[in-house]
Structure 1
Amino acid sequence: MRYSLIAFALLIASATAFSADSHQYIIERTIPGAQNLTQDELKSISQKSRAVLETLGPDIKWQQSYVAEDKFYCVYQAPNKEIIAKHAKLGGFPADKIVEVSGIIGPQTASE
């Protein structure tokens, strides 16, 4: 249940405009001890991710990631799941689950 709530929070927190050829995805990555990673370790992971993204071109964009217990929940914009899986493979990152965002809601949804 906790992970479902985290995924739901990701949907709310990551609202962006979509282009016609780009979709938003949430990637769940299991990284044992993720919550104990130091700022230097997180920086190193981020730098490696960005380097791989540069090789893949402008079609894939990393928006942000959340560290929660032994998981990373990453939000990306990309044309398809395959390029996200390729990023994970090239970077040596797990990608346990890649799901496309089908909608975004937030507090403002209640008043619209």
Structure 2
Amino acid sequence: MPKYMIERNIPDAGHLSQQELHDISVKSCDVLKQMGPEIQWVNSYVTDDKVYCLYIAPDEDSVKQHADLGGFPVNQISQIRSTIDPTTAE
């Protein structure tokens, strides 16, 4: 199943409290439960003004639907074509 990286512009995201991050996570998980097992949230990376989320989903439309239902911003969706790490050099 394809993987997608979602870029979300969220001003001051790096200053969100643990409670705010918890609440966002709960909302995301609730929406995912409604949508069924085909779409999965793997993890997210929070920077100063953005959040990058990795999802496994059947298509880009599923990622957009999750964002719409959860009220999450989506500024860019990129399908991940390959993964590399230090072991790729071996």
Q: Aligned equivalents of 2:11 and 2:31: distance in 1? A: 22
The alignment's C-alpha RMSD in Å is: 0.4
* Secondary structure at 1:90 match in 2: helix
- The gaps in structure 2 that reach 5 residues or longer are none
Which residue does the alignment assign to 2:32? 53
Which residue does the alignment assign to 1:5? none
Q: Deviations over 1:50-76 (max 9, x none)?
A: 000000000000000000111000000
TM-score under structure 1 normalisation? Answer: 0.80
Runs of 4+ in 1 over 3 A off after TM superposition: none
1:85 to 30, 55, 64: 64
Give the total of aligned pairs: 90
Tell which has more relative contact order, 1 or 2 (C-alpha 8 A, sep 6+). Answer: 2
TM-score under structure 2 normalisation? Answer: 0.99
Matches within 5 A, 1:60-79: 60-79=39-58
Which residue does the alignment assign to 2:2? 23
Percent identical pairs in the alignment equals 48
